């Protein structure tokens, strides 16, 4: 039985309530998170400035020893340089730059001479494009004051925070959504299985649930199995022997554009699950935020149902 996917007459009101709920949470959480991130990021930027003599000396050996400062250096230019743009401008290894960005490390397999050559090219780009308005002492050839250094660090940190705060907000929203599901289930007598207890989803006892459970699916090409994470897996109290638990993906969004760009992801995941485990498997969404009729219509056409967080009691309609 469908819960929300077959009721388009309710979608408009639900969308409005969901947007209001997300915005109320965002106003409470995001400013504090941004301030915290900004303070931490400013400290990291000040360390990077100290290592480079306040952007006056940028050498390959500094980057080699401290690859974690590359994001700060990218945001210290005019205009700030995106990762892919830096790779293209400097003509350097994509693997090197992305390792420095994502892993804060140098690829161990890279030959020393080759590494130095690539790092020199990165240093040249940063030096040529360093933002003289943020670092006026580069033009004036003087030693900056502590106030000037802190001011510059704050500006660069603001540039970095836009990129760093968004993932933090998304992760916190997901954590909050799963906490809401947990509280709702436990209130009704369900018990949480930790990862070590839930070996496979099809062996879960009735009346249990688990978060971030890995489920094996077959890849489209070949017979190789891969694990995909499921945010929430719930085995209803009244489950019959052999019945699958219910799968829920926690989704939140702060704008309509991004959700429509990514709406195929859920359909792909459900297709992988059903192709591997059969069409009786139920894959649903737990939504909060900006999900418009276009998104909902697409998911409904793919056979995906959902529960709105502002109406969490709809989970009962799934037999939970």
Each residue's pLDDT tens digit, 10-34? 999 999 999 999 999 998 888 887 8
User: Rounded CA gap, 139 and 78, in Å?
Assistant: 14
144 phi and psi angles, rounded to 5 deg: -70, 155
Helix (H) or strand (E) holding 158: helix 146-187
Its sign, for the CA torsion 77, 78, 84, 86, is negative
Q: What is the pTM of this model?
A: 0.72
The pLDDT value given to residue 198 = 46
255's CB contacts (< 8 A; 6+ apart) are 290
Taking Cα atoms as reference points, which of 171, 165, 169 lies closest to residue 40? 165
In this prediction, the residues of the chain whose per-residue pLDDT falls under 50 are: 196-198
Taking Cα atoms as reference points, which of 51, 9, 13, 1 lies closest to residue 308? 13
User: Which domains, and CATH codes, for the chain?
Assistant: 8-29+170-318 (3.40.1350.10), 33-165 (no CATH)
Q: What confidence tens digit (pLDDT) does each residue in 169-216 have?
A: 888 899 999 999 999 999 999 999 876 444 578 888 999 999 999 888
Residue found by looking up tokens 């943020």 in the block: 134
User: Rounded CA gap, 200 and 29, in Å?
Assistant: 35
The pLDDT value given to residue 220 = 65
With b for 16 or more beta-carbon neighbours within 10 A and e for fewer, the 280-307 pattern comes to ebbbbbbbbbbbbeebbebbbebebbbb
């Amino acid at each position: 039985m469908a819960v929300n996917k077959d009721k388009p007459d309710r979608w408009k009101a639900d969308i409005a309530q969901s947007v209001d709920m997300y915005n109320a949470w965002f106003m409470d959480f995001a400013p504090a998170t941004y301030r915290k991130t900004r303070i931490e990021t400013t400290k990291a930027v000040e360390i990077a400035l100290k290592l480079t003599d306040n952007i006056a000396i940028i050498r390959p050996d500094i980057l080699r020893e401290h690859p974690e400062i590359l994001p700060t250096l990218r945001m210290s230019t005019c205009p700030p340089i995106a990762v892919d743009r830096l790779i293209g401008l400097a003509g350097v290894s994509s693997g090197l730059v992305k390792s420095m960005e994502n892993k804060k490390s140098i690829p161990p397999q890279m030959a020393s001479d080759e590494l130095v050559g690539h790092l020199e090219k990165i240093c040249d780009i940063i030096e040529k494009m360093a933002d003289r308005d943020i670092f006026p002492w580069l033009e004036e050839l003087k030693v900056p004051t502590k106030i000037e250094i802190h001011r510059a660090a704050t500006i660069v940190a603001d540039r970095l925070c836009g990129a760093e705060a968004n993932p933090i907000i998304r992760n916190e929203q997901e954590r909050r959504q799963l906490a809401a599901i947990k509280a709702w289930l436990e209130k009704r007598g369900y018990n949480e299985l930790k990862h070590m207890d839930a070996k496979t989803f099809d062996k879960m006892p009735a009346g249990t649930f688990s978060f971030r459970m890995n489920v094996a699916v077959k890849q489209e090409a070949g017979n190789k199995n891969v694990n995909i994470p499921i945010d929430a897996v719930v085995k209803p109290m009244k489950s019959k022997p052999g019945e699958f638990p219910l799968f829920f993906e926690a989704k939140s969004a702060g704008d309509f554009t991004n959700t429509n760009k990514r709406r195929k992801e859920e359909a792909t995941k459900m297709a992988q699950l059903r192709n591997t485990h059969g069409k009786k498997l139920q894959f649903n969404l737990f939504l909060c935020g900006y999900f418009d009729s276009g998104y909902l219509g697409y998911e409904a056409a793919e056979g995906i149902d959902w529960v709105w967080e502002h109406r969490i009691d709809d989970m009962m309609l799934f037999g939970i």
